[in-house]
């Protein structure tokens, strides 16, 4: 089986220092006026097609939810009926739940699964079951890439990894977080990876290759300190496109100005990557942000044209999306700075 982890380049290793640095200084002291200016800038970038991302501009709580509140919220989300699985591209398939997504990237030598939902039950019903409905064999899962160390993305990992012998990929920072002090702890997700049980630990710029497909793994800290955002090629209607899966979107970490600064830096840095690589597809691990359910429904319609795949946004639109996220993070940073 032709697969490997290729070490990051020296240039990318150096670039991570920019991502992990302190927040950029603001041009003026944070005020209600600066918050409004950032929200207005986000609205301009969102236009009429990226409005879902504007949810990030709403005030975020200064503290994480208490355990009981978290459990109630998760239970309600998990109980929502799941959408049908779907084919987004010739080699990329949605096998997720209503609230949280999982993606199967098909290669010439097996499948790279990106995220694994909340629980073993979801992994069996939605990932295994969804893959079979789409004509994919779950036994071909060779890698599971966990975008960040929250249980809605690692919850199904132990079940799938044991059953199929899949290798588990997560950033070094988030392996450490799940092994030591979880940001969110709930029995709904079960036990996180334990100390000494980590599998493949990756850093910024590492590359995962399976068969004919290479996935570049970029560190995009903020949502967690070790969030990774994969970049890879997808195919539709005989055309090749470059896709970015943004690994962690919302500001659910409480009042943490340096972390918001890292998030802002990550959106700025990845916008440059998007421009340089002509990335024209942006997907998320939560369909509320990328509209994946509506796009998949459109592709299921009779006569849907692969040449006008709704997931293909164009490079300028992907850049606009990153600017919306960055401006909303700046608005939130200024709100917290005034508290």
β-strand pairing of 228-236 with 213-219: antiparallel
3-state SS, residue 276: helix
Q: Give yes or no for a contact between 101 and 288, defined as CB atoms under 8 angstroms apart.
A: no
User: What are the pLDDT digits (tens) for 165-179?
Assistant: 999 999 999 999 999
Mean pLDDT of all residues belonging to the chain: 92
pLDDT of the residue at 237: 87
Q: End-to-end CA distance of the chain: give it in Å, rounded.
A: 55
Q: Which of 87, 116, 138, 105 is nearest to 233 (CA)?
A: 105
Run of H or E residues at 239: strand 239-246
pLDDT of residue 265 exceeding 50, the answer is yes
Q: What is the mean pLDDT of residues 325-337?
A: 98
The share of the chain scoring above pLDDT 70, in percent, equals 91
User: What residues does each domain of the chain span?
Assistant: 3-63+82-338
The Cα 208–Cα 3 span in angstroms is: 8
Maximum average pLDDT range among 20-34, 57-71, 127-141: 127-141
Q: What is the mean pLDDT of residues 172-199?
A: 87
pLDDT of the residue at 306: 67
Record: fold of 3-63+82-338 = Metallo-beta-lactamase; Chain A (3.60.15)
Residue 254 — left, alpha, or beta (φ > 0 → left; ψ -120 to 50 → alpha)?
Answer: left
pLDDT of the residue at 128: 98
The Cα 2–Cα 316 span in angstroms is: 35
Helix 315-338 × helix 257-277 angle, to 10°: 170
pLDDT of residue 144 exceeding 70, the answer is yes
The Cα 80–Cα 77 span in angstroms is: 6
């Amino acid at each position: 089986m032709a697969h490997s982890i290729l070490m990051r380049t020296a240039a990318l290793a150096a670039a991570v220092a920019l991502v992990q640095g302190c927040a950029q200084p603001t041009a003026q002291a944070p005020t209600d006026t600066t918050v409004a200016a950032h929200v207005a800038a986000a609205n301009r970038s969102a236009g009429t097609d990226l409005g879902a991302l504007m949810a990030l501009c709403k005030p975020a709580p200064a503290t994480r939810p208490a355990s009981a509140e978290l459990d109630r919220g998760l239970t309600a989300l998990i109980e929502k009926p799941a959408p049908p699985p779907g084919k987004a591209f010739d080699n990329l398939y949605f096998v997720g739940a209503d609230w949280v997504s999982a993606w199967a990237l098909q290669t010439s030598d097996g499948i790279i699964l990106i995220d694994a939902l909340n629980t073993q039950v979801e992994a069996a019903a939605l990932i295994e079951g969804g893959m079979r409905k789409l004509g994919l064999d779950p036994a071909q899962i060779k890698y599971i890439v966990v975008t960040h160390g929250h249980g809605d993305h690692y919850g199904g990992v132990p079940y799938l990894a044991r059953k199929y012998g899949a290798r588990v990929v997560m950033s070094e920072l988030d392996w450490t977080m799940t092994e030591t002090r979880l940001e969110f702890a709930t029995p709904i997700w079960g036990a996180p990876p334990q100390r000494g049980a980590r599998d493949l630990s990756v850093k910024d710029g590492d590359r995962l290759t399976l068969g004919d497909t290479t996935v570049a793994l970029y560190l995009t800290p903020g949502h967690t300190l070790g969030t990774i955002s994969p970049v890879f090629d997808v195919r539709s209607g005989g055309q090749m496109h470059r896709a970015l899966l943004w690994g962690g979107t919302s500001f659910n970490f409480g009042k943490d100005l340096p972390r918001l600064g890292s998030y802002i830096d990550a959106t700025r840095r990845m916008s440059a990557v998007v421009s340089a690589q002509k990335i024209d597809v942006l997907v998320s691990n939560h369909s509320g942000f990328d509209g994946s359910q509506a796009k998949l429904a459109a592709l299921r319609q009779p006569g849907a044209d692969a040449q006008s795949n709704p997931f293909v946004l164009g490079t300028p639109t992907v850049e606009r999306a990153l600017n919306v996220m960055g401006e909303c993070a700046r608005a939130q940073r200024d709100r917290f700075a005034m508290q």
